[in-house]
Chains A and B, each alone.
Chain A
Amino acid sequence: MVSTVQNSDVRQKDVDHAVVVAVTSRALFESDTEEDGDGAYAAGVAFPLLQALQRVNEQLLQRNPAESLLFDVVLMTTDSQQQQSSRFMSSTRHHGLEVTRFCFSSEEDFIESLLKNNIQLFLTTDENEVLQATQKGVPSVLLDEHSAVCSSEQLRVLFCENAIIRPSSDPTPASRQAAQSFSSQLGKMRQKFGMFDSPLCFTLVTLRGGKDSCCGALKALRSIGVSVDEAYCLAGAPRSPILSLLRPHFLLSDGFSNLDD
């Protein structure tokens, strides 16, 4: 069973134009611990990412109060936590999070909930949920303890070549399409900011190929409306020293690269 409750504290977004991002309650809150006194949950690993999304919204609205291309963040929670649903809602309010809706479903139905709510990006700490959502063509990110130390001031998105993260089967046309359109939306958002002080930052990393594969990736991204701010071509150099400096919130890899080295 799938149901949705609106958060009356937060202005609802124009769902036709917004970029809808779903985050699970387990990713957003530490449900094992409590903040003192209040009964509200403590911040989970998704916090900095959410704060970064909020900052993008703030800055977009500053430039244009009537802006409709915003991030629309919804909280998703499944059956086993139903009793805690009101705790999630009150914790959201307690932390002043810009969550527009709460989507409740059973574990079996959560994919239905994702599709019904037109989720364009799904954030979770559960590997199985990523697997299932990905198979249905919903772009999904697996968050972990690294996410907790990312910036809350600037949303950093890493575009990385497809070849390294090759699945055993090729991505479905649906998931490729979804990835592309999500990237294009982000690209449009980025265009609303200048070169300096943008709350949104795109980075391209090519891991294995040389400058020509990086060149191809830059052009491919440009063709879907994404201009990256930073670019790193590693040509086989070890990736972790560079990645640890970049600290992206998440990586996007399908949907823009058709180079196969």
Chain B
Amino acid sequence: MSLSSSQTLTISGQDLVKNGSRAPREDARAGLKPSTPTKKPQPPKPENAITIAVSSRVLFNMEKEQQIFEQQGMEEYIKYQVAHEAEPFRPGPAFSFVKALEAVNTQLRELYPESEELFDVVLITNNHAYVGLRLINTINHHQLFIERFCMTGGNSPIGYLKAYHTNLYLSADPVKVHEALGEGIAAATMFTPEKMTEVSETQLRVAFDGDAVLFSDESEQIFKAHGLDNVFLELTCFLHEHKGDCMASFSVFVPQGPLKGFLEVLGKLQKKFYAKGQRMDCPIRTYLVTARSAASSGARALKTLRSWGLEIDEALFLAGAPKGPMLEKIRPHIFFDDQMFHVEGAAEMGTVACHVPYGIAQRIPRKGVKDKETSQTVK
């Protein structure tokens, strides 16, 4: 019988005597007989991969089950899930995004078969493992390549997000998103549009708002008062004024927004395609969709990006015009904005839009959009 205390994964008496050391063997594969030849590739190591963590409610449509949870409680919810275990969920708002990530991976693998710089989608959910079989059945049904998941049974996902070096966390629960942002993890609350416009299956398209998403909005406020050169000086003063505010401390040393890092990794992957001559039909395309006007603030936005070594494929300056129609033309798989007004506007026109609750003035979004907030949100 093999048992062990908490950290050391050893055990069987004979192994202990033979090994002496109790350090877990990292490459356990080495000594074991190989499994049936896999047609699927192995997932990359988390430190090499671009990890996208999604919750169950954004990956799949669980509206009905969510309703049961809210109205009838946990026990009924679990009973329902288990009773419908063989019934796969329908796709949720993050589904097409995940499929597009997989398409990019396929193309990356063709060009760079040895590289582990790939997207790794991890399901991180608050759900109890009772729902596990239904989730796994659904993943199989839709042929998604998701091999890693954490079903935390109600515990906070934050530690697991960190353990996986998560580059982007998408959840339907604004509280968790807020918490993740506070820990320095790029995160956004995803909403479900009434109807979802069709998106490309071969080219991943990601659209960003500028302020408080790519750029910190404090820097914008300070620029308006004092001019770009003084931004760093003013940010230090800003921190002193708001000593207790974690959002201020997040942005003080670099005036960048929480999604800047994600744009950066997308750019890195794009360069890998360019290196193989795929600039014109790159499988990844990025968009800046901002309410700024092109003239002054727009130019500044582009200069800032350039100073960070980042490129964006298309910059759309709407000078205050609504974003919905423009996004409807672009058809991104995902759109990030810090203002609920824009998120709602985009969702109304069929774009999968995510709210980035960043910036001093942010509050948890109100109900009314397709977001189920409860204190015990099951995700």
Q: Say yes or no for A106: interface residue by CB 8 A criterion.
A: no
Closest residue of chain A to B4 (Cβ to Cβ) is: A251
The residues of B that contact A196 with a CB separation of less than 8 Å are 74, 154
Q: Say yes or no for B294: interface residue by CB 8 A criterion.
A: no
How near does chain B come to A242, taking the closest CB pair, in angstroms?
5
Q: Say yes or no for A144: interface residue by CB 8 A criterion.
A: yes
Q: Say yes or no for B163: interface residue by CB 8 A criterion.
A: yes
Residues from 15 to 69 in B contacting A, C-beta threshold 8 Å: 15-18, 24, 26, 28-29, 31-33, 35, 40, 42-43, 45-46
Closest residue of chain A to B34 (Cβ to Cβ) is: A261
Most buried by A among B6, B137, B164: B6
In the complex, the answer to whether A131 meets B13 with C-beta atoms within 8 Å is yes
Residues from 89 to 148 in B contacting A, C-beta threshold 8 Å: 128-130, 132-133, 136-137, 139-140, 146-148
Closest residue of chain A to B73 (Cβ to Cβ) is: A195
Q: Say yes or no for A18: interface residue by CB 8 A criterion.
A: no
In the complex, the answer to whether B163 meets A245 with C-beta atoms within 8 Å is yes
B side interface size, CB within 8 A:
58
CA distance in complex: A212, B139 (Å) = 10
The residues of B that contact A234 with a CB separation of less than 8 Å are 148
In the complex, the answer to whether B5 meets A249 with C-beta atoms within 8 Å is yes
Option from B6, B35, B133, B162 in Cβ contact (under 8 Å) with A146: B6
Closest residue of chain B to A247 (Cβ to Cβ) is: B6
CA distance in complex: A207, B32 (Å) = 13
In the complex, the answer to whether B1 meets A195 with C-beta atoms within 8 Å is no
In the complex, the answer to whether A229 meets B149 with C-beta atoms within 8 Å is no
Q: Say yes or no for B3: interface residue by CB 8 A criterion.
A: yes
Residues from 163 to 221 in A contacting B, C-beta threshold 8 Å: 163-169, 171, 175-176, 178-179, 194-196, 201, 203-204, 207-212, 214-215, 218-219
In the complex, the answer to whether A134 meets B13 with C-beta atoms within 8 Å is yes
In the complex, the answer to whether A131 meets B17 with C-beta atoms within 8 Å is yes
Residues from 57 to 80 in A contacting B, C-beta threshold 8 Å: none
Most buried by A among B4, B74, B129, B139: B4
The residues of A that contact B163 with a CB separation of less than 8 Å are 237, 241-242, 245
In the complex, the answer to whether A211 meets B140 with C-beta atoms within 8 Å is yes
Specify the main secondary structure of chain A where it touches its partner.
mixed
Closest residue of chain B to A195 (Cβ to Cβ) is: B74
Q: Say yes or no for A24: interface residue by CB 8 A criterion.
A: no
CA distance in complex: A78, B347 (Å) = 71
In the complex, the answer to whether B1 meets A255 with C-beta atoms within 8 Å is yes
A side interface size, CB within 8 A:
79
In the complex, the answer to whether A208 meets B129 with C-beta atoms within 8 Å is no
CA distance in complex: A95, B152 (Å) = 34
Closest residue of chain A to B77 (Cβ to Cβ) is: A195
Q: Say yes or no for A252: interface residue by CB 8 A criterion.
A: yes
CA distance in complex: A202, B340 (Å) = 39
CA distance in complex: A242, B128 (Å) = 17
In the complex, the answer to whether B15 meets A168 with C-beta atoms within 8 Å is yes
The residues of B that contact A219 with a CB separation of less than 8 Å are 133
Q: Say yes or no for A236: interface residue by CB 8 A criterion.
A: yes
In the complex, the answer to whether A178 meets B1 with C-beta atoms within 8 Å is yes
The residues of A that contact B71 with a CB separation of less than 8 Å are none
Q: Say yes or no for A227: interface residue by CB 8 A criterion.
A: yes
The residues of B that contact A215 with a CB separation of less than 8 Å are 132-133, 136-137
The residues of B that contact A194 with a CB separation of less than 8 Å are 74-75
Q: Mark A135-155, 1 if CB is under 8 A from B, else 0.
A: 101111111101100100000
How near does chain A come to B47, taking the closest CB pair, in angstroms?
8
In the complex, the answer to whether A142 meets B4 with C-beta atoms within 8 Å is yes
CA distance in complex: A16, B7 (Å) = 32
The residues of A that contact B43 with a CB separation of less than 8 Å are 210, 235-237
Option from A134, A207, A227, A247 in Cβ contact (under 8 Å) with B130: A227
Q: Say yes or no for A34: interface residue by CB 8 A criterion.
A: no
Closest residue of chain B to A170 (Cβ to Cβ) is: B12
In the complex, the answer to whether A130 meets B16 with C-beta atoms within 8 Å is yes
Option from B16, B31, B33, B152 in Cβ contact (under 8 Å) with A127: B16
> Which residues of chain B have a CB within 8 Å of any CB of chain A?
1-18, 24, 26, 28-29, 31-33, 35, 40, 42-43, 45-46, 74-75, 78, 128-130, 132-133, 136-137, 139-140, 146-155, 159-160, 162-164
| Given A163-B32, A203-B153, A219-B133, 7 more pairs with CB closer than 8 A | A130-B16, A195-B154, A215-B133, A228-B132, A235-B147, A244-B7, A261-B35
